[in-house]
Amino acid sequence: MNQPIIKDETLNRWFNGYEIADDVRSLREEFLDLHIGRGDVVLVCLPNTAAYPVITQALWEVGAVMHPIAATTPELELQQELDEHEYVASIVGQELVNAALDDRLAIVTALHLQTYPLLHIIRDRQLMGNDARVPDEDDLALIMNTSGTTGKPKRVGLTHGLLLNGVEHDIESHKMTALDTTMVVMPMFHINAQAVSILSTRLSGGKIVITNKFSASKFWNQVRDNGVTWVSVVPTIINILLINQAANANYSDDIRLRFVRCSSFALPLDKLTAFQTRFHTTILEGYGMTETASQCTINPFDAPKVGSAGKAFKTDVEIMVDRKIVHAPNQLGEIIVRGDHVIADYLDPHPNSFKNGWFLTGDLGYLDEDGYLFVKGRKKDIINHGGEKVAPAQVENSLSQLNFIKEVSVIGTPDSLYGEAVTAVVISQGQQAEELERQKIMAHAQATLANYEQPTRIFFVEDYPRNATGKVIRLKLREQVMSNLIRSVG
């Protein structure tokens, strides 16, 4: 108990088991005094902090449910969230107290914790609350919002049983032990940080380093100074670490990451190979989502297949074409999953997302002859170009091979002749003229893509509209392109 187990990089402080237990006890007692108990939902709006695991544990000990949202949530959006759903309480930092209160009849409690100097609990007095009780496996533990990159986010309810199963699968597939130290660089209101990094590490007895957010210039120093053995990231972070001068300067050969877990979309071969060679580690690519309490597939340590999301792990994964499961390899269709860590329904009705015990992910992909999953993008993102179906991920993976491209997103825009034009929206390194880069993009596309997949429009931008986890919001990007807010060079 006196060993350091969680570090808050912002505070530059390690907390041992006694200190974490003291903070949990203080919070639990406050929840009991405020009559927050079994089944009561508490909204948490905080930045990445060592207090997150403390709040989670204290809420679960009284049987309450945590719903974390981004600390950068605008005040109006926070108020709308509180108005739409019955939150017995909200937990926020000082800067959001007035917005969360918003003329509500409430009790405001300021609590000093070791892991968070001044925490505010706003207890809605119009809601009775329930008695505290140790939760059952089927009781809700977490409510999380989906990414919402193609529409309004869905609310996902994860029970204690689903989370436990998912986390145990993570521990086994990643070979986690008490000797591991992970570093959290992903936002803590996201399933990646909550399940893959925090819960799995706590259950396996390892240590956790929590950063406020990813910093390329600080990353390798943080890994080295804290003895980090693995970290979970997204491909964008891989790309940034490869090209950021400060990151490359701060890396040294005495750093030994056991692996880097990467998910969200597949890395191009050249960038995966470059990262592994430059930083002397292994990238493990996987596939999962909020609805599955983290992962469904993962590349095995001893047999990874580049470009794939790996093989199913403690999950049934199939491909559905025309609402029927197909067993032949290399058949492109919707990815469907089921397992002891997969939800059976959303908190709000979405019946079209489930069929005969399967969760229909909305993602397109195929299983090869060896059972490896290849993810090709979202069904809603598919571009209909003259009757040919174009998967944006296929085009993005090809164009990402160009070293002057920092990031690329491919969308469909209206075309009078073909219905939709394949439109590449590029974030460039900015080291050469855009017209020259456009020509290189077209030449590379002609050499690597089918005619109907080649982009006919190219736009250069400084950044994309993104959600709180950094994912591109394609609907907004398309709107910006269509409203001429982005300068075209095509």
- CATH code: domain of residue 469: 3.30.300.30
Cβ atoms < 10 Å from Cβ of 207: 22
Contact of 414 with 420, CB cutoff 8 Å: yes
53 and 178: one domain? Answer: no
418 and 439: one domain? Answer: yes
Three-state SS for 281?
Answer: coil
Domain boundary among 346, 378, 410: 378
Alpha helices for 213-330 (secondary structure H): 216-226, 235-243, 245-250, 269-279
- Give the pLDDT of residue 183: 98
119 and 232: one domain? Answer: no
Instruction: State how far the Cα of 387 lies from the Cα of 413, in Å rounded to an integer.
Output: 14
- CATH code: domain of residue 347: 3.40.50.12780
Instruction: State how far the Cα of 291 lies from the Cα of 162, in Å rounded to an integer.
Output: 10
17 and 164: one domain? Answer: no
- CATH code: domain of residue 59: 3.40.50.980
pLDDT digits (tens, 9 = 90+) for 348-357: 988 889 999 9
pLDDT at 485 over 70: no
- CA dihedral (214, 220, 224, 225) positive or negative: negative
**Mean pLDDT, range 118-141, rounded to an integer:** 95
pTM of the model: 0.84
Q: How confident is the model at residue 234 (pLDDT cuts 50, 70, 90)?
A: confident
- Which tokens in the block code for residue 384? 């209909």
Q: What does residue 67 show for φ and ψ, rounded to 5 degrees?
A: -125, 95
Instruction: State how far the Cα of 75 lies from the Cα of 97, in Å rounded to an integer.
Output: 10
Domain hosting 185: range is 160-378
Q: What is the largest CA-CA distance in the chain?
A: 69
Domain boundary among 331, 347, 378: 378
Q: How confident is the model at residue 342 (pLDDT cuts 50, 70, 90)?
A: very high
Least confident of 46-55, 144-153, 374-383: 144-153
328 and 451: one domain? Answer: no
- Measured N-to-C along each axis, helices 235-243 and 269-279 cross at an angle, to the nearest 10 degrees, of 60
Q: Which residue has the higher pLDDT, 185 or 70?
A: 185
Instruction: State how far the Cα of 404 lies from the Cα of 420, in Å rounded to an integer.
Output: 27
Number of domains present in the structure of the chain: 3
- Give the pLDDT of residue 378: 78
* 101 contact partners, CB below 8 Å, separation of at least 6: 108, 122
* Residue 146 counted as domain residue: no
* Residue 142 counted as domain residue: no
435 and 453: one domain? Answer: yes
Least confident of 254-268, 349-363, 471-485: 471-485
Instruction: State how far the Cα of 490 lies from the Cα of 476, in Å rounded to an integer.
Output: 20
**Mean pLDDT, range 160-175, rounded to an integer:** 97
Least confident of 111-120, 223-232, 390-399: 390-399
pLDDT at 490 over 50: no
According to DSSP, the residues that pair with 144 across neighbouring strands are: 156
* Residues composing the chain: 490
**Mean pLDDT, range 408-427, rounded to an integer:** 87
250 and 314: one domain? Answer: yes
Residue type for position 352: N
* Residue 487 counted as domain residue: no
pLDDT at 442 over 90: yes
**Mean pLDDT, range 359-387, rounded to an integer:** 88
- Which tokens in the block code for residue 332? 């492109």
Q: How confident is the model at residue 259 (pLDDT cuts 50, 70, 90)?
A: very high
Instruction: State how far the Cα of 71 lies from the Cα of 88, in Å rounded to an integer.
Output: 19
166 and 102: one domain? Answer: no
> Residue 429: which of 452, 447, 403, 450 has the closest Cα?
403
Instruction: State how far the Cα of 403 lies from the Cα of 401, in Å rounded to an integer.
Output: 6
- CA dihedral (263, 264, 265, 268) positive or negative: negative
- Give the pLDDT of residue 12: 97
Q: What does residue 69 show for φ and ψ, rounded to 5 degrees?
A: -135, 170
Cβ atoms < 10 Å from Cβ of 88: 24
Residue type for position 166: G
Q: Which residue has the higher pLDDT, 388 or 278?
A: 278
Q: How confident is the model at residue 148 (pLDDT cuts 50, 70, 90)?
A: low
pLDDT at 223 over 90: yes
214 and 360: one domain? Answer: yes
* 338 contact partners, CB below 8 Å, separation of at least 6: 315, 316, 357, 358, 359
pLDDT at 487 over 70: no
**Mean pLDDT, range 469-476, rounded to an integer:** 82
Contact of 85 with 72, CB cutoff 8 Å: no
- Give the pLDDT of residue 15: 98
**Mean pLDDT, range 196-205, rounded to an integer:** 97
* Residue 281 counted as domain residue: yes
- Give the pLDDT of residue 152: 67
Q: How confident is the model at residue 489 (pLDDT cuts 50, 70, 90)?
A: very low
397 and 351: one domain? Answer: no
Q: Which residue has the higher pLDDT, 403 or 22?
A: 22
370 and 397: one domain? Answer: no
* 302 contact partners, CB below 8 Å, separation of at least 6: none
- Give the pLDDT of residue 486: 45
Strands in 13-16's sheet, in edge-to-edge order, are 13-16, 4-8, 207-210, 181-184, 230-233, 259-262, 283-289, 294-298, 311-312
476 and 399: one domain? Answer: yes
* Residue 141 counted as domain residue: no
* Residue 489 counted as domain residue: no
